[in-house]
Structure 1
Amino acid sequence: MMDWNKLLSTKRFSQDTIDPISASRSPFHKDQDRIVFSSAFRRLQDKTQVHSLIESDYVRTRLTHSMEVASVGRSLGANAGQVVIDRYLKGTNYTPAEFGHIVSAACLAHDIGNPPFGHFGEDTMRHWFETGPLKQGHLDELTDAEQRDFLEFEGNAQGFRILTKLQNWRNNGGLRLTYATLGTFMKYPRISSVSNLIEDDYAGKKFGIMQSELDSFKEIASDLGLIQRGHESYWCRHPLTYLVEAADDICYSVVDIEDGFKLGRLEFAETEDIMLRILGNAPHRYTELTEKSEKISYLRAKCIGHLIGEVSQIFADNEKVILEGNYKGDLLHHSSNASIFSEIENLCKRHIFNHKERIQAELRGSEILTSILDALFTANLEWEAFDANGTKLSPRSHVILNLFPDKEKKPRYEWLLEMTDFVSGMTDSFAVRQFKDLKGYI
């Protein structure tokens, strides 16, 4: 069983000293600040949440979504913290607020590794590696696990790489966040090549650790006391990770239908009906509102508050099983409203995700990312040939390589990582500009 005293480690990544718990500004509060002031977090303001390259200023971006998730996560963490303190940590310096800060910090960073154009961007990058470099034999020299890091490219794993390595890259340790926050951030604590996944273990649905950061996570997992699954690089989740996932699920479930209504893709009646069913009945003040948009916004707020209370109780009821590493599924889908969330998912697929404007934006995004990846990959291959036998680079590749200031000879796995670092770090707008430059558009 995991131990909360270890799970709340204030040790910072790549730093020997341990920060004390302070009533005024805890180490976990500092983690929040470090993430908020990072350039990777700021770039989320121009990254797709659901609607790509849309003209409306109303809809959420990755930045506003992350801030909303962090707000929900703070409440969930504080509620869980009170339960944990009452059960295990009475007489310590921990307060419920510390738990709220940890969950909120991890929530702020939960999408920090996503490429431009949302999850479609991830799918495009995976498809490109599978149909391009893999088919041409250019990944043959990589290990199976290294190949899978690209063939199954995952924004969550890229996020851990950003937090621990790419931000403040001149100084070892990235943002130097606490182990508690980094452990809570790790939604999928396994590498890409695990062979024996546990059925219904949501921690194993995807991978969250690239080969390049495996040793780093091993150190973090050992310090936190995360339970290892067998002898593979596969661990159970930090208990607070379930709250990060729930905060994300609450926000995108409720907020997606609000955005869909505001964009005119969902009718008022169906949006209202779903939200009222989540609540069970109409709030008292609801009858005082007359404007439809205001009504939906009010119901959204009430739904989120209702679900925070419900999820907090689910966590409290299952906390022991979670500590043992035996919890299956996620928190929200153990809710009495689980069937409604499935209904929301299907509704969004029909009317939002498959909307004509979104499809057209994804077509543009596919062409943009594919063209950029083609150009970067070709340039790096030519550099390899030049380094090996002096083969002259094409003028285009020579110019493209100026985007990468470090031209030392590196193994292919490393320069492929640099390439995906560059592309996944792009905002939607920067990717469009880079595409225009590559194509010579004015």
Structure 2
Amino acid sequence: MSEDRGFERPRAPYAADPERSRGRRIVEPGSRTRSDFQRDRDRIVHSTAFRRLMHKTQVFVSLEGDHYRTRLTHSLEVAQIARSISRVLGLDEDLAESVALAHDFGHTPYGHEGEDVLDRCMAGFDGFDHNAQSYRIVTRLERRYATYDGLNLTWETLEGLVKHNGPLASREGIGIGRYADRPLPHAFAADPDFLGLEPWTQPALEAQVAAIADDIAYDAHDIDDGLRAGLIELDDLRGVPLIGDFLTEIDTRYPGLERARVVHEIGRRVLTRMIEDVIDESRRRILASGVASVDAVRGWPQPLVAFSAPMAEAERAVKAFLTKRVYRAPSVLAVREQAGQIVEDLFTAFVERPERMPEEWRRDLDPADARRLRRRVCDYIAGMTDRFALQEHRRLFDATPELR
């Protein structure tokens, strides 16, 4: 590496190295001042898909309040956690950040409800999967550059997006894990370069870090948002493993502390304790495995970045509590049902009359080609923000839910 490039950092032997990247699908000259992983990060931040995350639902529809997390704020929190863990483990922080910032690109308006509705609408036409849609966006749907579609990201960043939840297919392209009982998503199965990402191996440690940072961010900020929304109270948390101990610790150290500060103290303890646990457990696993290269990491049978057994048990309990009290709260489910109706109505309207979509989305479209028509409509709706979907529904229908 030439001395004037200015981005070299101490790196563990098992870390991904931008100087040894497997490259981009379309060859481009390198940068004098940025590594290839830094360039990926910058392309992601400047993409249209990244800006749209600002107005996409995390748990609470963005119209409900200004301080609830959106997909954008969630992604930024995941990126911060991923960088913190990667720095201590000697990994490439830029690659971890790139995967973290782009991991939610494929989410629809209105969170998982929008995804579930689009998957039902696409039944018989290869379905819908938000992880695969993220891949589709960065390889095809972003149209910004003069000579190619997508962002032309490095192999390593694409690998991290594809394997966000671990290996997903055999060498023959047959789904495993979460895809064992359903066909591989369209974006993967239809891409001739997909198997080149070796979906049967573990991802690099940087991608593993981004994935567990996603879990940590969810746990911390969904407790905060649930308290803010009034769906749970502080006393409800006293019986939750880990969180209850934090409350006792805060009460003892800061008796009479005002509620808002207690809530923040809980959040920072969740982040600190989980991050430190991941660092300690991952160091132990890496040392025990003896891996000395990123290829050895990919060939290891299990993830090397993980919670310790006690923390994993506590984290599952936190998620179970949030699922029951926040994600499936009657008020949240009521808004989700209304939001789902908006997405379903839009899908039906655009399939029946494709001319209702902008010209760029119906260009070269044959309405008689049902599969292609539905995929185009699906792509269009999946890219919508919450408020744009609401606006489109009001344009096309006489009555639109208020999402309250």
TM-score bracket for the superposition, by shorter chain length: 0.7 to 0.9
Aligned position for 2:363:
406
CA shift for structure 1 position 401: 6.8
Quote the sequence identity (%): 23
Q: What's the Cα RMSD here? A: 3.4
- Consecutive unaligned residues of structure 1, counting only runs of 5 or more, are 83-95, 135-146, 230-234, 381-397
8 Å contact from structure 2 (residues 108, 382) kept in 1: yes
Cα deviations by residue, 1:346-389 (Å, 9 ceiling, x for unpaired): 22222212223212211211211111111122235xxxxxxxxx
| Distance in 1, Cα, partners of 2:382 & 2:101 | 18
**3-state SS in 2 of match to 1:326:** coil
Structure 1 residues 402 and 180: CA distance shift in structure 2, 3 A: closer
Corresponding position: 1:46 with 2:55? yes
CA shift for structure 1 position 176: 2.0
Structure 1 residues 125 and 399: CA distance shift in structure 2, 3 A: closer
| Distance in 2, Cα, partners of 1:347 & 1:8 | 44
- Consecutive unaligned residues of structure 2, counting only runs of 5 or more, are 1-12, 292-296
Corresponding position: 1:172 with 2:145? no
| Distance in 2, Cα, partners of 1:215 & 1:344 | 40
8 Å contact from structure 1 (residues 261, 268) kept in 2: yes
CA shift for structure 1 position 403: 6.3
Amino acid at match of 1:55: E
Structure 1 residues 167 and 54: CA distance shift in structure 2, 3 A: same
Structure 1 residues 329 and 116: CA distance shift in structure 2, 3 A: farther
Aligned position for 1:217:
194
| Distance in 1, Cα, partners of 2:14 & 2:333 | 47
Q: Say which is worse superposed, 261-270 or 419-428, in terms of deviation.
A: 261-270
CA shift for structure 1 position 155: 0.4
Aligned position for 1:65:
74
8 Å contact from structure 1 (residues 66, 107) kept in 2: yes
| Distance in 2, Cα, partners of 1:441 & 1:307 | 46
| Distance in 2, Cα, partners of 1:403 & 1:342 | 44
8 Å contact from structure 2 (residues 168, 178) kept in 1: no
Amino acid at match of 1:420: C
Residue number among 230, 234, 238 corresponding to 1:264 in the alignment: 230
Cα deviations by residue, 1:235-256 (Å, 9 ceiling, x for unpaired): 4333332211100000101221
Structure 1 residues 209 and 250: CA distance shift in structure 2, 3 A: farther
Q: Say which is worse superposed, 267-276 or 311-320, in terms of deviation.
A: 267-276
| Distance in 2, Cα, partners of 1:205 & 1:308 | 33
After TM superposition, the structure 1 = structure 2 runs for residues 22-171 of structure 1, keeping only pairs within 5 Å, are 25-80=34-89, 82=90, 96=91, 99-130=92-123, 134=124, 147=125, 149-150=126-127, 153-168=128-143, 171=147
CA shift for structure 1 position 439: 0.9
CA shift for structure 1 position 343: 2.1
Corresponding position: 1:327 with 2:336? no
Structure 1 residues 246 and 196: CA distance shift in structure 2, 3 A: closer
**3-state SS in 2 of match to 1:336:** helix
> With structure 1 as the length reference, what TM-score do the two structures score?
0.74
Aligned position for 1:239:
205
**3-state SS in 1 of match to 2:205:** coil
Residue number among 1, 9, 14 corresponding to 2:25 in the alignment: 14
Amino acid at match of 1:307: M
**3-state SS in 1 of match to 2:135:** helix
Corresponding position: 1:300 with 2:306? no
| Distance in 2, Cα, partners of 1:79 & 1:8 | 21
| Distance in 2, Cα, partners of 1:11 & 1:196 | 24
